[in-house]
Amino acid sequence: MSVPPSASPLQRSPIAAFLDGFCAAWCSALAYVVLATYVGVAALGHDFGFSLWWVLASTLLLWVAPGQVILISALAVGATSVETAVAVGLSSARLLPMVVSLLPLIKDKDTPNRALILPMHLTSVSTWIEAQRFLPGLPRAIRVPFANGLGVGFMTSANIGTVVGFYLAGSLPPLLTAGLLFLTPMSFLISTTRNCRLLADWLALGIGIVLGPLLAWRQVGLDLLWTGIVGGSVAYGIHRLREALK
């Protein structure tokens, strides 16, 4: 995995930083995971009778594959607007802690709010993972354009995947579809592991893996939100305790 080219990072212009971010996205295995995931999303949209432009627009506006799958399926089976909105909203709650833990890495003391709107909108799991990896090593002045390049890079791969999926729809063998669906958990697990630095990160990963399916099995409402709050807080608490005992 190559580090983005940064021969003289202090002198890089915003446009060069944006392109560095764009290239970093395409050097990441996650770009191809995103592409393959959207092949699946597009095939679903095609099967339910949505147009290619509508599916592309849903990627630009939502930029969360699971939420888009829920939206497409719900509209296709004629769920009410309120039901659909609630289902999409519940599945996307993970964006809140992601944006909260991304912006402090991106912003400078005097970054205006409007400069944070694009990085906020581009936040997704893939952008978040790679931003946590690259941003700490970059000068603050170029972090906003770099993050934007990263997000736009991943979104480009999603849209290429969407076009491919639209034309492949119906001809994908089931085993290949299963393989496409398996890409997400496999790549997210190892790229999250690679990003773990503090004890709090490692514990959060371990507790989340156990707590997520457990709460879903007990049919606790908002299971992922509780997994995050409880798992993250316990992990953080143990981390603090160990720091205090040092």
Partner 1 sequence: MSGMTELHAYVLLVLVGFLPNEVWRVLGLVVGRSIDEESELFTWARAVATAVLAGVIAKIIIYAPGALADVPLMVRLGAIACGFAAFLLVRRSIFAGVLAGEAALMLGALIYRG
Site for partner 1 in 154-173 (CB under 8 A): none
> CB-wise, 15 or 198, nearer to partner 1?
198
User: How far apart, in Å, do the first and last CA atoms of the chain sit?
Assistant: 35
**Residues of span 123-142 touching partner 1 by CB under 8 A:** 123, 125, 128, 132
Query: Could you tell me the smallest distance in angstroms from the CB atom of residue 39 to partner 1?
Result: 13
> CB-wise, 16 or 124, nearer to partner 1?
124
9, 115, 121, 163: which one binds partner 1 (CB under 8 A): 121
Give the H or E element holding residue 84: helix 81-91
The two structure tokens encoding residue 69: 């799958």
> CB-wise, 17 or 183, nearer to partner 1?
183
Is 116 near partner 1 (CB under 8 A)?
yes
In 3D space, the residue among 24, 85, 50, 27 whose CA is nearest the CA of residue 169 turns out to be: 50
Q: What are phi and psi of 106, to 5 degrees?
A: -90, -45
Binding to partner 1 by CB under 8 A, coded x per residue (else -) over 24-63, reads ----xxx--x------x-------xxxx--x--xx--xx-
> CB-wise, 16 or 98, nearer to partner 1?
98
Query: Could you tell me the smallest distance in angstroms from the CB atom of residue 146 to partner 1?
Result: 15
In 3D space, the residue among 77, 70, 66 whose CA is nearest the CA of residue 34 turns out to be: 66
- Binding region for partner 1 (CB under 8 A) out of 8-16, 70-78, 145-153, 156-164: 70-78
Query: Could you tell me the smallest distance in angstroms from the CB atom of residue 125 to partner 1?
Result: 7
Number of residues forming the site for partner 1 (CB under 8 A): 103
b or e along 202-232 (b: 16 or more beta carbons within 10 Å of the residue's beta carbon)?
ebbbebbeebbeebeeeeeeebbbebbeebb
Q: Using DSSP, state whether 166 is helix, strand or coil.
A: helix
**Residues of span 207-226 touching partner 1 by CB under 8 A:** 207-213, 215-216, 223-225
List of residues 6+ apart from 56 with CB closer than 8 A: 159, 162, 163
Is 65 near partner 1 (CB under 8 A)?
no
Is 204 near partner 1 (CB under 8 A)?
yes
Angle between helices 14-27 and 125-134 (to 10 degrees): 110
